[in-house]
């Protein structure tokens, strides 16, 4: 149990630091509408702020409300998400928008019990929505907060472990101030994102450095500790890009990290001889493996020669479709 005096000193210093050094100009800070906060929190999972901002602005410009998102097609949602990665987040956004539209009459839930039941909303995201939008006393534990607390309390167990995460949740909840919960939530996130950074933290400028165990023991380079995840072997595939009358054939993928996105067929579907107009090799890197792929541009005169189900699109439609970013880039280059 953290002493009340220590708890108050910690939260007060974080709040004081934020008054002078916090971030106040992020696009999702302009309006504490829970819908907008929710979109930003999902986008920010495993993705840096600088990457998220242009995607967020474009996404919100198209899907301004829960209704807009709920009524959109999956294809359109995926198209606006293309390039952000971790596409299950987009699918869950769409599912949750539909649930809120039907079960909650388009009104965003304001209780933890209801929020935690929605696809893609975990304990930390629920806490962020409740504290930011409803000023309710709930903790968060995103990557930034884990790093700050692990260093300050000198936690040297892997944060991947369930028991360590539970311990960090206990600490995070105990440190919550009685007032200004929304400001404190933003403050501790900003603190980790801009001061107590993964590499080269600015310890000399830190207002809590005198009581930070990692700083005292020169452990900021090793805390937080993560168990190394097993790296999977490289994977490989092929993409057959069939063109007929200035249209290309795409199929909806239903497996893996690109589930729900459009792709060219991954196997040869022609029963007769063909000429390859362009070909090459590329690769893209995921969190645990690298995908190497060959591509072949094949022009045909009769769509019926193909033995595969899919849809034909004009080349000019590619930029507006929900394709994985590396495949979309490839297709756009081939169209020029």
Catalytic residue numbers read 41
Helix (H) / strand (E) element for 179: namely: none
CA–CA distance, 166 with 305 (Å, rounded to integer)? 58
**If we measure between CA atoms, which residue out of 68, 64, 65, 36 comes closest to residue 52?**
36
CA–CA distance, 59 with 336 (Å, rounded to integer)? 27
- Are the C-beta atoms of 28 and 193 separated by less than 8 Å? no
CA–CA distance, 102 with 113 (Å, rounded to integer)? 17
Measure Cα distances from 234 to 39, 204, 292 in Å: 33, 42, 7
Give the SS3 label for residue 232. Answer: coil
Tokens of 277: 């107009």
């Amino acid at each position: 149990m953290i002493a009340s005096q220590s708890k108050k000193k910690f939260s007060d210093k974080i709040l004081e630091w934020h008054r002078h050094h916090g971030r106040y100009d992020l696009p999702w800070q302009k309006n504490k509408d829970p819908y907008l906060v929710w979109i930003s929190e999902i986008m920010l999972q495993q993705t840096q702020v600088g990457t998220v901002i242009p995607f967020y602005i474009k996404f919100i410009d198209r899907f301004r409300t829960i209704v807009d998102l709920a009524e959109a097609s999956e294809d359109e949602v995926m198209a606006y998400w293309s390039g952000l990665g971790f596409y299950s987040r987009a699918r869950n956004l769409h599912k949750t928008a539909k649930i809120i539209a039907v079960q909650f009459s388009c009104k965003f839930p304001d209780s933890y019990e209801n929020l935690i039941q929605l696809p893609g909303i975990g304990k930390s995201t629920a806490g962020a929505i409740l504290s930011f939008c409803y000023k309710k006393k709930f903790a968060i534990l995103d990557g930034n907060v884990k790093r700050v607390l692990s260093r300050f309390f000198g936690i040297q167990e892997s944060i991947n472990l369930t028991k360590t995460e539970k311990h960090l949740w206990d600490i995070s909840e105990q440190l919550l101030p009685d007032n200004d919960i929304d400001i404190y939530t933003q403050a501790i996130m900003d603190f980790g994102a801009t001061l107590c950074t993964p590499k080269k933290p600015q310890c000399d400028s830190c207002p809590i450095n005198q009581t930070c165990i990692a700083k005292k023991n020169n452990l900021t380079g090793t805390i937080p500790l993560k168990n190394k995840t097993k790296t999977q072997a490289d994977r490989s595939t092929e993409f057959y890009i069939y063109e007929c009358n200035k249209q290309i054939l795409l199929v909806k993928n239903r497996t893996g990290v690109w589930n729900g996105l459009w792709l060219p067929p991954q196997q040869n579907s022609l029963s007769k001889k063909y000429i390859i107009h362009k070909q090459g090799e590329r690769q893209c890197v995921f969190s645990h493996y690298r995908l190497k792929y060959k591509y072949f541009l094949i022009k045909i005169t009769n769509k019926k020669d193909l033995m595969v189900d899919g849809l034909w699109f004009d080349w000019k439609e590619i930029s507006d479709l929900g394709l994985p970013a590396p495949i979309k880039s490839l297709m756009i280059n081939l169209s020029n």
